[in-house]
């Protein structure tokens, strides 16, 4: 009664089913051993009874009949226990098959979920590359860098602020001259980035090196001082004379994207039930394993390392079973698939601990 009440309504994993199968087989083996032991004693008694009946002659005949029946019962018991052992072996074979299939199912499921996560990120970030290239040709933006007066700077700031109100995925939009000095930003009420120099940043230098307006610059996940050290990604595009895609570069527009809002929303909505989440870690990492997004909140604080990571990261999508942080895990992985010729090149990883409930002791 206690067992049924405990198990009622409980969801079992395939691994737990295998565990229970092994336990049942173990208990059956124990019961069969006991039956064999009793049967052996019965057989010995029947043999002894037959000997004594033979010695007693006519008077021992009834006793001999009982001994013969005991012997037949013993033989039949042997046949039954042999069949039971065969059945137990089949149960174990089924358990082994389930165990193999459950590992394959778990691995494929986690790698599928990992692929969905990184695909969503690629698709969303592709839009950011389109945004910055478009806005870099805006008339107010171009005028600010060509005319360089207080009035045109103010108009450019107002224009960037209008864009920010429509595109709430950005912290701020900043405009720098060719020397890397920020002359305009859109969210000046919250961020005072004007007069900051960004000449050494990756987003600025990569944009300055572009050959045409169809290219863009980029800086990976970082804590940007331009937005009070919040986690951000910066996409950038060169601003060119007269907005001409082949014109002379006169500055750089940077769009500072709210990385944590996107990444943590995707990670937190990964379709894994609450029980699984207790022993599952969901991450986005770069090629070195640096954690860029994390269900444990350790962005930029930790590098993911595990045995044969390089091999797994070399594949587009796969899984492996290995030890991580002292615990056996299933690790599902998917490489950024890209979208419309854009790819982050990042890796989506889901690590799930293999919980060992342990076999119950024999009663």
What is the set of domains in the chain, with CATH numbers? 12-103 (1.10.287.950), 136-262 (3.30.450.20)
Q: How many whole angstroms separate alpha carbon 179 and alpha carbon 181? A: 6
pLDDT band at 157 (very low <50, low <70, confident <90, very high): very high
pLDDT exceeds cutoff 80 at 9: no
Question: Residue 238: how many CA atoms within 13 Å on its side-chain side?
Answer: 23
pLDDT in tens, 298-346: 999 999 999 999 999 999 999 999 999 899 999 999 999 999 989 999 9
The C-alpha atoms of residue 117 and residue 348 are separated, in whole angstroms, by 7
* Per-residue model confidence (pLDDT) at position 100: 64
pLDDT recorded at residue 293: 97
The whole-number pLDDT of residue 43 equals 65
The dihedral through the CA atoms of 94, 96, 97, 102 has a sign that is positive
At residue 288, φ and ψ (nearest 5 deg) are -85, -5
Percent of the chain with pLDDT over 70: 80
The band of 361, judged by pLDDT with boundaries at 50, 70 and 90, is very low
156-182 average pLDDT score: 97
Q: Which residue would you say has higher pLDDT here, 86 or 22?
A: 86
Q: Are 294 and 281 spatial neighbours (Cβ–Cβ below 8 Å)?
A: yes
- Continuous H helices in the chain: 2-7, 14-56, 61-135, 139-147, 150-166, 202-208, 259-268, 274-277, 309-313
- pLDDT beyond 60 at 270: yes
Nearest-10 crossing angle of helices 150-166, 139-147 = 150
Read off the pLDDT band of 79 (50, 70, 90): confident
CB 184 within 8 A of CB 194: yes
Confidence of residue 46 (pLDDT cuts 50, 70, 90): low
pLDDT at 11 over 70: no
Q: Is the pLDDT of residue 26 over 80?
A: no
Q: Which residue has the tokens 């037959």?
A: 50
Pick the range with the lowest mean pLDDT from 13-22, 26-35, 260-269.
13-22
d(CA 338, CA 341): 6
pLDDT (tens digit, 9 = 90+) per residue, 106-155?
999 999 999 999 999 999 999 999 999 999 999 999 999 999 999 999 99
Residues above pLDDT 90, as percent of the chain: 65
């Amino acid at each position: 009664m206690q067992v049924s009440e405990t198990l009622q309504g409980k969801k079992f994993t395939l691994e737990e089913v295998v565990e229970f199968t092994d336990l049942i087989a173990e208990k059956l083996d124990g019961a069969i051993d006991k039956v064999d032991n009793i049967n052996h004693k019965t057989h010995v008694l029947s043999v002894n009874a037959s000997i004594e009946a033979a010695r007693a002659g006519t008077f021992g005949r009834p006793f001999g009949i009982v001994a013969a029946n005991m012997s037949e019962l013993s033989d039949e018991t042997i046949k039954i226990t042999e069949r039971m052992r065969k059945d137990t072996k089949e149960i174990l074979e089924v358990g082994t098959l389930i165990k193999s299939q459950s590992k394959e199912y778990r691995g494929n499921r986690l790698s599928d979920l990992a692929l969905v996560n990184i695909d969503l990120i690629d698709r969303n970030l592709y839009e950011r590359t389109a945004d910055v290239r478009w806005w870099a040709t805006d008339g107010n933006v171009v005028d600010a860098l060509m005319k360089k007066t207080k009035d045109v700077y103010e108009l450019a700031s107002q224009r960037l602020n209008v864009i920010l109100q429509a595109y709430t995925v950005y912290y701020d939009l900043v405009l720098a001259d060719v020397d890397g000095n920020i002359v305009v930003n859109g969210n000046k009420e919250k961020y005072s980035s004007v007069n900051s120099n960004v000449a050494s940043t990756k987003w600025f230098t990569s944009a300055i090196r572009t050959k045409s307006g169809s290219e863009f610059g980029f800086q990976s996940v970082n804590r940007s001082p331009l937005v009070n050290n919040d986690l951000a990604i910066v996409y950038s595009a060169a601003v060119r004379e007269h907005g001409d895609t082949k014109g002379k570069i006169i500055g750089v527009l940077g769009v500072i994207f709210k990385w944590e809002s996107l990444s943590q929303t995707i990670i937190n909505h990964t379709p894994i039930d609450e029980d699984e989440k207790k022993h599952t870690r969901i991450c986005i990492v770069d090629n070195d394993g640096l954690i860029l997004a994390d269900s444990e909140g350790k962005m930029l604080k930790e590098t993911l390392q595990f045995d044969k990571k390089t091999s797994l990261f070399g594949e587009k999508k796969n899984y492996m079973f290995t030890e991580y942080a002292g615990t056996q895990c299933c690790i599902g992985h998917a490489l950024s698939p890209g979208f419309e010729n854009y790819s982050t090149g990042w890796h989506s990883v889901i690590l799930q601990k293999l919980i060992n409930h342990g076999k119950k002791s024999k009663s």
